[in-house]
Amino acid sequence: MIKDPPLVSIIIIAYNEERYISTAIESVLNQTYKNIEVIVVDDGSTDSTVSIARQYEPRVKVISQKNSGGCSAPRNTGLNIAAGTYIGFLDADDFYLSGKIEHQLAVFSKCPISVAVISNYCNFEANVDSADHFSSCSGLMQILTTNNANFFEFPKGDSANLMITENFTIASTPLYKAEILKKFHGFSESLKSCEDFHLNYRIAREHKITVFNEVLSKRRLHGTNMSSNTLNMMRYYCQSRIDLLNGETDSDRRLDLHKCISSHLQNYCKLIMRKIAFKHVGTYFSLLKRYCSLRLNRHSTDFNG
């Protein structure tokens, strides 16, 4: 008996992306795999984003909400209504290559225990592509080369070990089993950046995931990316790792998290002083206080820094 192809839900989040929203939507609608539910969650746009997205109805579901100031809340909104067996995410200024979903489902068929298949990606700016991201991840490439394969299924916990020093994924690259996203309650809404790392790390330390070395999506670089705001990126980098340290029981990962947090808190402080960014001073001391409390009160013997 031939099974019906599984439904895949793709959640596109948008805030004032009238220039790019059509490209993102069409990159999903034009996938070689066709059993797709497309959900656009508008996070309080004030431009023409919503009206452009609604031109694709009924093939696309469009939902509007008040601006949340981040990516987690709109992604969770889409997650709460998604009906797919598998779920992926896409920011409205980025796009998928046409075979993304088909190729990731094929890898799932070879690695059925994995809860996510994470593909490679590249950045682009003014139609010029950068090198693929995995090529900058020496540890990951060594694993792929050693195993002579373009995909690798990580045992439980092993990919989390690697993520601490080589964050090889962004929000648009994984295709998840829907059940795992619901188990972990989606993205942390206290994070306005690094929320994708935070979710992927929590999943990876408890489950098998597969990494697939094919570029299947592209991330657009421009001045309004969150990644262009270095101070906020540094703030949420520290906050996300401190959150994860608080729940981490593996001694090796705790040590690596300590090293990352300590280094980035120092860099955050230096950047605040260099930019004379007074509004970040209180946030810095709040993070520092919380981190010092974790060092002193829990597993303090696992770090000598």
- pLDDT value of residue 270: 95
Residue 122, strand partner residues: 132, 218
Is the pLDDT at 75 greater than 90, yes or no? yes
Label residue 133 by pLDDT band (50, 70, 90).
Answer: very high
Task: Write the CB contacts of 223 (distance below 8 Å, at least 6 apart in sequence).
Answer: none
Boundary-marking domain end, from 156, 188, 223: 223
The predicted pLDDT at position 303 comes to 43
Is 285 inside any structural domain?
yes
* Residues 266 and 199 placed together within one structural domain of the fold: no
The single residue listed with the structure tokens 């994924």 is 169
Sequence-ordered strand ranges (E) for the chain: 8-14, 36-43, 60-65, 86-91, 95-96, 116-125, 128-132, 151-154, 174-177, 209-220
Q: Residue 192: pLDDT band by 50, 70, 90 thresholds?
A: very high
Say if residue 214 is in the same domain as residue 261.
Answer: no
189 or 304, which is more confident: 189
CATH code of the domain containing 72: 3.90.550.10
| 5-7-10 Cα angle (round to 5) | 140
Position 304 scores a pLDDT of 40
**90 to each of 14, 174, 216, 236, how far by Cα in Å?**
9, 10, 12, 20
- Asked if residue 121 and residue 185 are part of one domain, the reply reads yes
- How does pLDDT run across 211-249, given as a tens digit for each residue? 999 999 999 998 665 544 899 999 999 999 999 999 899
Residues 90 and 238 in one domain: no
Tens of pLDDT, residues 36-59: 999 999 999 999 999 999 999 999
Does one domain contain both 188 and 259? no
Among 195, 223, 251, identify where a domain stops.
Answer: 223
Range of the domain at 164: 8-223
- Mean pLDDT of the residues in the chain: 93
Residues 115 and 99 in one domain: yes
CA angle 210-235-88, nearest 5°?
30
